[in-house]
Structure 1
Amino acid sequence: MKHAIKLSLTTLIVGWSINALAATIVYWDNPDSFERLMSSENKADFTRLSVYYQPQENKMFCGVASAAMVLNALRVDRTPEQIPFDSSQFSTLESGYLPNGGGNVEHSDKSYVSWSPLFHRYTQNTVLIHSPKSRIEILGKPAKGSQFNDYGLQLSQFVDLVKSNGAKVVSYELQNIDDIDAIKANMVTALNQPEHYLVVNYARKGVEQKGGGHYAPVAAYDRGSDSFLILDPNNADYLWHWVDATSMIKAMNTIDVDRYRGYAIISD
């Protein structure tokens, strides 16, 4: 009997630990997720980010997809002239069947000539047009003079990518997280600023997920559960989810190659 009580207590403790760990993340298909969103007082960015959400095209493009989402949220239907067309969507053969050759044929009707089958909307191709770190380098080609395959983007490289599209960025590398409350307050303030978007760069293991370093836009903060809503670009593996603030901040306090991860606040 004594052994049985001990075993039951051990099972209870282990079970509680597992449940506590699992409760760190609440995925979008959990009814509690919608309840958190409804009760949140810091969700102004959710609507536009969710409208312009796009999954990453490959496993190295989480930062690229996050940049495209945020830039679209800032500019689509507001300053579309800033957004380049993605001509790679049509082959030369396909373009030949489009009206006006897709915009490349002389015509007396000027409105016809100006028409394009493409939308003014950032894709994971056009967001890289002026990026200091090229597409092929993000995919692993060593930079000039290096033998190192630097996949993806470090936080400073992500900042350079966003700035190359004419946006403003304030970034924070979280080398020191002694004052977690101050860091959280700064992130929440960004969520409440009109036309400012928050992107986090963190280690997945810090939030009990599989994978390495990752980027994702943050769409909301719920004070009751003290958690952030992450619009994960990798929807092949994870739904959108709420992560408790402390775990997220600790996950950003990790090293990527030789510098710390952190977060960026993007505006126009």
Structure 2
Amino acid sequence: MAMAGLYRRLLPSPPAIDFASSEGKQLFLEAIQGGTMEGFYRLISYFQTQSEPAYCGLASLSMVLNALAIDPGRKWKGPWRWFDESMLDCCEPLEKVKEKGISFGKLVCLAHCAGAKVEAFRTNQSSIDDFRKYLIRCSSSDNCHVISSYHRGIFKQTGTGHFSPIGGYHAGRDMALILDVARFKYPPHWVPLSLLWEAMDSVDVATGQQRGFMLISRPHREPGLLYTLSCKHESWVGIARYLMEDVPNLVKSKDFKDIENVLSFVFKSLPSNFGEFIKWVAEVRRREDGDNSLSQEEKGRLAVKEEVLKQVQETGLFKHVVAFLSSVNSCCRNMPSLGHKDDLPDVAASVCCQGAEILAGKFGSSVRFCCRETCVKCLNTDGDNPTTVVSATVVDGSSQQGVDVLVPSSQMGDCGCGPSDCIGMYPAGNDILTVLLLALPTETWSGMKDEKLSKEIHDLVSTENLPTLLQEEVTTLSWTAFILLFSI
């Protein structure tokens, strides 16, 4: 006879106090009166149970992102944009998270990648007094939330490393309310702050680093989100190291005569799978009854993406990248395949399949879609400028659906009726390579032998004078790449 499996665990009390118990309710009322439960209401409105045993980090983050009302900028299911665990895969493949969980550093990376402002502290970088100060600050407002990474054993609970948001603080008893996302296991519970600090002040054996806590809040301004990093394949580790570590050493070791010479050396040394590292993000929606109209909201988000793309192409650096790529023989074995017109159908099919996964709630899963009848066209809506739309019928073996991808349009040409006529109508290789160079630390070029050339490049890649939208786009990419590399 098959075993029925586990149904919940008995919460060890003490040291924890069940939130729903008489004592837990009294602590709650007193904390409300003390003004340190302000963040609770937002969090409880979006409280969710992790959908997989190892998804505690993803569930905690999606819960906090939704509580902060951060727009993911892409569809979840149907017409809705909403953060879900299945959408948090830019810093670690979901299959790997499902198997092994996620590290503290990678969760910080995910929060940055999702557009949040993050302050992260490992216990060896902070103190219990600082933690208490931060917790009081966030618990006294609804625009900042704390996610804690701790070891369950300190609370006499089963399991090891775990993530959960902190729902509030009781100053008189010096206790924190853990909103445990593993609700199938333990209910929300109060714990002494000293024990929570002890539980955080432990080493994650998978990384050899201390656990800790992170403060997550809304950014002052949301990034354009035209570009993101794709880390579904382990190859990103080598690419990140090349960009952040190898390139600075390479530019120090060579004598370059001009900027094109530098670009040639850097780009021809790129790993062959570089095309998988930086992805562009398009608005994806399901086609219903042949309706080609765009909502005002869709137009607005697309306009922001188009403005970011326009700003990329107005930089002095972009002109050098275009000139360099135009001079490169397309048969050059050392150049990665980026931005050539023959890539558009493949790009369109890939993005349509990704959009179908999102709409079906299967993003990042083992289920794979394939595209049929991919078509690139242009729409004139309500007298606006033409909008590039990639349409496809997407199938997964058992069902099919229509998907539209609204593509940011560059200023490089007029839109035609087929793929071969739409060159420049999407963020191509020259745009991506430009953004890549802008996102690299400025120190990358400081060791060049030719000081005049070094200054010229520094002026081209400096973000200080960039328009605000592009500056924030570049900053988001740069921070994410840095965190990715140093959170391994």
- Paired position in structure 2 for 1:224: 172
For 1:34 and 1:85, the matched residues in 2 are separated by 38
What residue identity is the alignment partner of 1:25? A
Q: Distance in 2 between matches of 1:183 and 1:45?
A: 16
The corresponding residue for 2:49 is 55
CA offset digits 1:24-65 (Å, max 9, x no partner): 210122111121111112111100100001100011100000
User: Where in structure 2 are the equivalents of 1:45-194 lying within 5 Å?
Assistant: 45-75=39-69, 80=71, 82-87=72-77, 117-128=78-89, 131-140=90-99, 151-175=100-124, 179-194=127-142
Structure with the larger RCO, 1 or 2 (CA within 8 Å, 6+ apart):
1
Shift in alpha-carbon separation, 1:54–1:194, aligned structure 2, 3 A: closer
Q: Give SS of 2:85's match.
A: coil
- Mapped to 1, the partners of 2:130 and 2:21 lie a distance apart of 29
> Is the CA contact 2:135–2:169 (under 8 Å) kept in the aligned structure 1?
no
> Is the CA contact 1:191–1:197 (under 8 Å) kept in the aligned structure 2?
yes
Measure, in 2, the Cα distance between the counterparts of 1:176 and 1:161.
21
CA distance in 2, matches of 1:118, 1:207: 42
1:38 maps to 2:29: yes
1:93 paired residue number: none
The normalised TM-score by structure 1 is 0.71
CA distance in structure 2 between the aligned counterparts of 1:238 and 1:228, rounded to whole angstroms: 15
TM-score scaled by length of structure 2: 0.40
Identity of aligned residues (%): 25
Unaligned runs of 5+ in 2: 1-11, 219-488
For residue 194 of structure 1, report the CA deviation from its aligned partner: 4.3
CA-CA distance at 1:118 after TM superposition: 4.1
Query: 2:62, 2:83 within 8 Å by CA — same for their partners in 1?
Result: yes
Equivalences for residues 15-30 of structure 1 within 5 A: 22-30=13-21
Q: What is aligned with 1:246?
A: 194
| Length, aligned pairs only | 202
Kept in 2, the 8 Å contact 1:252–1:261? The answer is yes
CA distance in 1, matches of 2:73, 2:212: 27
Measured against aligned partners, the alpha-carbon deviations of 1:192-220 in whole angstroms (never above 9, x if no partner) come to 24411100000000122111100000110
Secondary structure of the residue that 2:114 maps to in structure 1? coil
1:196 to 141, 144, 149: 144
Contact 2:38/2:140, CA 8 A, preserved across alignment: yes
Which protein has the larger Cα radius of gyration, Structure 1 or Structure 2? 2
Q: 2:88 and 2:38 mapped to 1: Cα distance?
A: 24
- Between the aligned partners of 2:49 and 2:116, the Cα distance in structure 1 is 21
Question: Which residue is 2:210 aligned to?
Answer: 260
Offset at 1:163?
Answer: 0.9
Instruction: Return the alpha-carbon distance in structure 2 between the equivalents of residues 59 and 174 of structure 1.
Output: 25
Q: Give the CA deviation at 1:180.
A: 2.5
The amino acid across from 1:167 in the alignment is A
Q: Please tell me whether the aligned partners of residues 72 and 121 of structure 1 are also in contact (alpha carbons under 8 angstroms).
A: yes
Q: CA deviation at 1:160?
A: 0.5
Measured against aligned partners, the alpha-carbon deviations of 1:100-140 in whole angstroms (never above 9, x if no partner) come to xxxxxxxxxxxxxxxxx443321111233xx2111012123
Distance in 1 separating the partners of 2:156 and 2:167:
20
Quick one: distance in 2 between partners of 1:253 and 1:125?
A: 29
Secondary structure of 1:125 counterpart: helix
Which secondary structure state, in structure 1, belongs to the residue aligned with residue 124 of structure 2?
coil
Contact 1:173/1:263 (CA < 8 Å) preserved in 2?
yes
Distance 1:121 1:62 in 2: 18
Q: Distance in 2 between matches of 1:168 and 1:176?
A: 19
SS in 2 for 1:169: strand
Could you list the per-position Cα deviations for residues 145-184 of structure 1 after superposition, in whole angstroms to 9, with x for gaps in the alignment? xxxxxx111111110011111111100101267x533332
Q: Describe the SS at the equivalent of 1:232.
A: coil
Partner of 1:235, secondary structure, is coil
Whole-angstrom CA distance in 2 between matches of 1:204 and 1:160: 23
Instruction: Supply the distance in 1 between the matched residues of 2:180 and 2:165 (Cα, whole angstroms).
Output: 7
Contact 2:148/2:213 (CA < 8 Å) preserved in 1? yes
8 Å contact from structure 1 (residues 67, 162) kept in 2: yes
Letter in 2 for 1:135: L
Q: Given residue 111 of structure 2, which amino acid in structure 1 is its aligned partner?
A: V
Q: What letter corresponds to residue 248 of structure 1 in structure 2?
A: L
User: Which runs of 5 or more residues in structure 1 are unaligned?
Assistant: 1-20, 88-116, 141-150
**Structure 1 residue 86, shift from structure 2 partner:** 1.9
- Measured after TM superposition, the shift of residue 66 of structure 1 is 0.3
